[in-house]
Amino acid sequence: MISLDVSVDAQAAGRAAAVRIGQLIEAMPRAVIGVATGSSPLPVYAHLARLVADGLDVGEVRWFALDEYVGLPPRHPASFRHVLERELLAPLGADPALLHVPDGSARDLDAAAADYERDITDAGGIDLQLLGIGTNGHVGFNEPKTPFDSRTHPAWLAPQTRQANARFFGGRVEDVPRRCLTQGLATIMRSRAIELIATGAHKAAAVCCAVLGPVTVECPASVLQTHPDVTFRLDVAAACQVQVSAPSEPNDGTADSP
């Protein structure tokens, strides 16, 4: 079942997700958190850093990336390992050794995918997975038509996804890798709880398909309708096709602290 939480803006949506993650970490200091890259989670990571500044201890949290490009040099600034070290771990003061990322430079990608799936299992499974959503309804890099029973696997990026991500490669779509390793839809569905962030009017149609559409591989995120604990954290623009009531927080600056 998907719960909707609509906030006035992206910052407030990110704060709401960060508060939930913070509460989980307080209750379970060794929690396993699945983390996404892209623009959507950045406000979450910024607010998590505030919670850490206010005393939240993330020293034992295990972090698992959702996906990684294939073929980027290890220290490329757009590689997801690099992005997560920069945007998540460094502001939190967390140990990079506790970050797991699929090995996109492996010679044998199938073996690297199987290793990653095993690493997640060995860690006890993901307690909470943070997701974004693509404008075509992808989650992770599970593009339309990805089977619902997929585990971590090598995948091809849709042209629409490469175009959207060109902004992380100086606007050069030709520099965006064509392949990736991604948690599969079944891997994501095994997470005990899921927080999905979608902000901006360009996400409204994908959110609508995911929440209200049929459960179909044409919209990979629609599979989340069959998960018991999913919250979509939306801003008003992303929610405009699924929601009619007022957003949950005032935009008057009073909600800055968790």
67 included as an active-site residue: yes
Piece of 4-12, 131-139, 185-193, 230-238 that binds ligand F6R (CB under 6 A): 131-139
138 binds ligand F6R (CB under 6 A): yes
Cβ of 244: how many Cβ atoms within 10 Å? 6
Q: How far apart are the first and last CA of the chain?
A: 25
134 binds ligand F6R (CB under 6 A): yes
Cβ of 3: how many Cβ atoms within 10 Å? 10
Binding mask 38-57 for ligand F6R (x = CB under 6 A): xxx-----------------
Cα 208 to its chain centre, rounded Å, is 18
59 vs 82, beta carbon nearer ligand F6R: 82
Task: Identify residues 53-92 at the interface with ligand F6R (CB under 6 A).
Answer: 66-67
56 vs 88, beta carbon nearer ligand F6R: 88
11 vs 40, beta carbon nearer ligand F6R: 40
Residues 17, 194: Cα–Cα separation, whole Å: 10
Counting residues that bind ligand F6R (by CB under 6 A) gives 14
56 vs 87, beta carbon nearer ligand F6R: 87
37 binds ligand F6R (CB under 6 A): yes
Piece of 2-10, 23-31, 134-142, 205-213 that binds ligand F6R (CB under 6 A): 134-142
Residues 65, 27: Cα–Cα separation, whole Å: 22
H helix or E strand, kind and range, residue 129: strand 128-131
The two beta strands, 179-182 and 99-100, are unpaired
Task: Identify residues 216-245 at the interface with ligand F6R (CB under 6 A).
Answer: none
143 included as an active-site residue: yes
Residues 63, 33: Cα–Cα separation, whole Å: 5
Residue ranges in the chain assigned as alpha helix (H)? 10-27, 42-53, 80-84, 90-92, 109-122, 159-165, 185-190, 204-212
What burial class does residue 210 get, using C-beta atoms within 10 Å of its C-beta: 0-12 exposed, 13-18 middle, 19+ buried? buried
User: Among 43, 137, 140, 154, which residue interacts with ligand F6R (rule: CB under 6 A)?
Assistant: 140
17 vs 133, beta carbon nearer ligand F6R: 133
Q: How far is the CB of 148 from ligand F6R (least distance, A)?
A: 16
94 vs 221, beta carbon nearer ligand F6R: 221
Catalytic residue, chosen from 5, 68, 103, 143, is 143
What burial class does residue 69 get, using C-beta atoms within 10 Å of its C-beta: 0-12 exposed, 13-18 middle, 19+ buried? buried
187 binds ligand F6R (CB under 6 A): no
* Residue whose structure tokens are 């209200």: 212
- Residues identified as active-site: 67, 136, 138, 143
Residues forming contacts to ligand F6R in the complex (CB under 6 A) are 36-40, 66-67, 132-134, 138-141
